[in-house]
Amino acid sequence: MKTKVIIALVTMVMLNMNSFAQENNKRFGFELNGGASKATSKLSDASLNIGYGFEGILHYRFMPHTGLYAGWGWNKFSSDDTFAGKDMDFEETGYIFGLQFKHPIGSSPVSFMLRAGGLYNHIELENTDGEIVEDSGHGFGMQFAGGIDVPLGKNWSVAPGLKFNSLNRSMDHNNESRELNLNYLSLRVGIVKKF
């Protein structure tokens, strides 16, 4: 009888220790990031200037180093000359989702992070007044990213990184269909709150 009581007590203590350890290692995080973007090719016949954008992302860690992420993003590129005229803007907006792997670098508190996922975005063509001239409609694309996570204390961290987005859509303008292959690299800096 005493053996069963001791085993039960040891089991309860170990379970409690495990739950305390998990409380200190937060499973959720919210990230706001932004930065500059550079297209890796022309968009139809348009050369794109340096762009900028931001994302809001929710993370959920379901394994020690692996989790899911989902959110919304916006990115804008201007162009001096396009198939729709001069001084037009291309805006990519929509949803992002995928898998995230984050692992400490050696024994330091800094971690490296890798992401692979998808996009469900659209491309809008806007004139200088900010009016939408054409819209490609939403479609699927892909996103790859990497960076580091540097703790700032009290469940806050800063996360600089590099991401690559690829979205292929078509857009009708003046009864002519245009293939828009938007591929770009972004240098981003994010602020992350873990909870």
Mean pLDDT of the chain: 88
pTM, full prediction: 0.82
Confidence of residue 16 (pLDDT cuts 50, 70, 90): very low
CA distance 105 to 169: 39
Task: Kindly state the average pLDDT of the residues 179-189.
Answer: 96
Fold observed for domain 26-194: Porin (2.40.160)
Is residue 18 scored above 80 in pLDDT? Answer: no
* CB of 186 closer than 8 Å to CB of 75: yes
> What is the domain partition of the chain in residue ranges?
26-194
DSSP codes of every residue in 34-49: EEEEEESS-BTTBPPP
74-83, 112-121, 133-142, 183-192: the lowest-pLDDT one: 74-83
> What pLDDT score does 121 carry?
97
SS3 state at 21? helix
